[in-house]
Structure 1
Amino acid sequence: MISTDEEMMFTNARIESIMYQVTFNPKTREGDIIVNLCLVDKKDLEETLEIFRQVMYSGLSVCSYVRMFDEGETFSGLEIPQGKTGIATACSITIDGVLLKHGIPVKPKFGGIVQVRDRVPLRFTDLISYDCTTIDPLEVLMSQELTSVREMMRTGSGKILANFREVPMSAKDDVDHLLNRLLTAGFYGILEVGEPNSPALGARVDRDHMGIIITGGTNPMAAVQESGIPIVTKAIKGVMEFHDMKKLV
């Protein structure tokens, strides 16, 4: 079970704490990253993994690496229940941790739903601030069944999970360089890097800042939920060594 202290911590405080635990080096592909964790029935595992593959192949996740946990194993204080399998996926806050590690003061601000039309992201339709909730915003939005990730994969139009952070505009060149290095290391899902002092997909930024929007690492879980498969998702569950994860696609 998750501790009461963790449940009552505001999401922004939890993010600020866990970002400092990221040690991932995009050049060597070594170090700790932040992961989400989901639980599915063993009987649904193969179908779940196939949906994960489809979402990751479509570029709607953070990266295509996962780690699985069998019943009885424990990760970050959570024991996998009998009859269940745990699946860890990369969390987009990992990218914030990498930026922070390289001296860029990044501030994650919102999680939300992005409307996509003909494979072009248009705007946020829903936003929840990290400093206003003790539950991860993407978990909240998933629980309201607002996504259409599978429709997005089929038709190029739909609603997907994403999150928004801002960085000083003076760091633009360094940010571009690091995002390219992360892409080479297998971390994708950058929806938009906004212009300085300009809204990004309709989300305003502070003066002398720019917005970065990244697909949610829980989009694979949302697609599984849309398929009617029971799934429990815990976003930003903990950190693990990247080398312990395996490429799914």
Structure 2
Amino acid sequence: MKDINPKQKVAILRILRDAGEAIGSATIADELAAYGFELSGRTIRLYLQEMEQDGLVTPARRGREGGRTITPAGYEEIHDALVTNRVGFMASKVDELACRTTLNLRSRSGLVVLNVTTIDETQLNRAIREMVPVFKMGMGMGEFIVLARAGECLGSFRVPPGKVGIGTVCSVTINGVLLSARIPAVSRFGGVLEVHDGRPVRFTDVIYYNGTSLDPLEIFIKGGLTSVREAARTGHGRIGASLREIPTASLSETRTIRSRLEEIGLNGILMLGKPNQSLLEFPIDEGRTGMIVTGGLNPTAAIQEAGIPTSNIALCTMVEFDRLIHFKKEMANVMAREEFRTMEFE
């Protein structure tokens, strides 16, 4: 058969990623219509066979339904493919995931956006210890994480063999909560925020969402531009953060929502500016107010800075809020595991 159209291949991989479970050619054909493609079931099956040979998808357990799921290599293909067509992709992805967020602050239930970091499973206890100071200093997007072992799923993401998946709440969740209150937040850029005594001072590097196909904080972490670990321990350093704008008319309601977010452990809004005034030297549009939000990947940036190799996927998937675990509980689990190991050798 002829080579797969690259756009169609990426569309199929995205459909498999978003499905979160094995699906077949008929379901994929229906979903492809939203991408503007009309392919027969036979053509899709042939495409899937070729993608399976390339290691991008894997067949589900044999059964009545069959179907395929995406592999880690498939995620990388989505990440790397069609860069020229994905300039500004982050801005549209932020808006898409904000619309899919269903977190209800009163019932403390619903979907939140999740970043996923994978590390070697032997490094889990050490990694948890590195994240705790970041959470304690309020430099994460809230106080929660979720863990998954090899073969388990975090939303639509399946953890590769030999790895542990660490999910942290993505700051785009705030956009979704605001949107549910009819407050449209515009995400301007992600950047490296310098803090002194734990307080924001200035952005040292920024990447605008409408001009990038990658998450800015992923780039800054890989480039070694953050010092989250130091900031969490001394109050001085550089962390990931982003600038949003909200309508000034919604400022009072946004303050109320900020308080409610903090009540349930999602203390991600670092600063709310003044109407029509610049924030940390960045101009704000007329009729709008600036807002600084901490980066959800900050806790795992500290892991990377401690010398533990990480693989980060920002805005990776969505999970139910009640699946998240408070970082203090996970730290207690670490201590229990280490105490058990000590007893084994006594």
Check whether TM > 0.5. Answer: yes
Residues 165 and 211, structure 1, Cα contact 8 Å, conserved in 2: yes
2:35 matched residue in structure 1: none
Structure 1 CA distance for aligned equivalents of residues 274 and 128 of structure 2: 37
- Equivalent position of 1:163 in the other structure: 242
Alpha-carbon separation, structure 2, partners of 1:197 and 1:146: 30
* Contact 1:116 1:156 (8 Å CA) reproduced: yes
Which of 1 and 2 has higher RCO (CA within 8 Å, sep 6+)?
1
Q: CA deviation at 1:212?
A: 0.6
1:78 to partner: Cα distance: 3.4
- TM-superposition CA deviations, 1:38-84 (whole Å, max 9, x none): 00101100000111122111110011211111111234543311110
**% identity of equivalent residues:** 35
Query: Quick check: 2:221–2:301 contact (8 Å CA) kept in 1?
Result: yes
Contact 1:27–1:185 (CA under 8 A) maintained in structure 2: no
Contact 1:23 1:33 in 2 (8 A): yes
Q: Which is richer in helix?
A: 2
SS at match of 1:2: helix
Give the corresponding residue for 2:27.
none
Moved over 6 A (4+): none
Query: Following the alignment from structure 2 to structure 1, what is the Cα–Cα distance between the partners of residues 304 and 261?
Result: 28
Report the Cα distance in structure 2 between the residues aligned to 1:184 and 1:116, rounded to whole angstroms: 24
SS at match of 2:75: coil
Deviation at residue 119 of structure 1 after TM alignment: 2.0
Which letter maps to 2:265?
Answer: G
- After TM superposition, the structure 1 = structure 2 runs for residues 103-182 of structure 1, keeping only pairs within 5 Å, are 103-182=182-261
For the pair 1:41 / 2:120, whether they are aligned, the reply is: yes
User: How has the CA–CA distance of structure 1 residues 209 and 229 changed in structure 2, closer, same or farther, with 3 Å as cutoff?
Assistant: same
Structure 1 residues 84 and 33: CA distance shift in structure 2, 3 A:
same
1:124–1:203: 8 Å Cα contact kept in structure 2? Answer: no
CA separation of 1:176 and 1:22: change in aligned 2, threshold 3 A: same
Deviations 1:156-198 (A, max 9, x none): 1111100111011111111111111111111113221011111
- Tell me the TM-score normalized by structure 1: 0.96
Gaps of 5+ in 2: 1-73, 329-346
Alignment of 1:7-26 (within 5 A): 8=82, 9=86, 10-26=89-105
3-state SS of paired residue (1:116): strand
Partner of residue 52, structure 1: 131
Code of the aligned partner of 1:2? Y
CA deviation after TM superposition for structure 1 residue 142, in Å? 0.9
Number of residue equivalences: 249
Q: More displaced, 128-137 or 199-208?
A: 199-208
Identify, as 1 or 2, the structure richer in strand.
Answer: 1
- 1:202 corresponds to which residue? 281
Matches within 5 A, 1:196-235: 196-235=275-314
| 1:99-127 deviations in Å (ceiling 9; x for gaps) | 00110011111100111112221111111
Is 1:237 paired with 2:316?
yes
1:78 counterpart (134, 142, 157): 157
Partner amino acid, structure 2, of 1:156: G
Cα distance in 1 for residues equivalent to 2:189 and 2:110: 26
Conservation of the 8 A alpha-carbon contact between 1:147 and 1:160: yes
Paired letter, 1:151: E
Which residue identity is paired with 2:258?
Answer: L
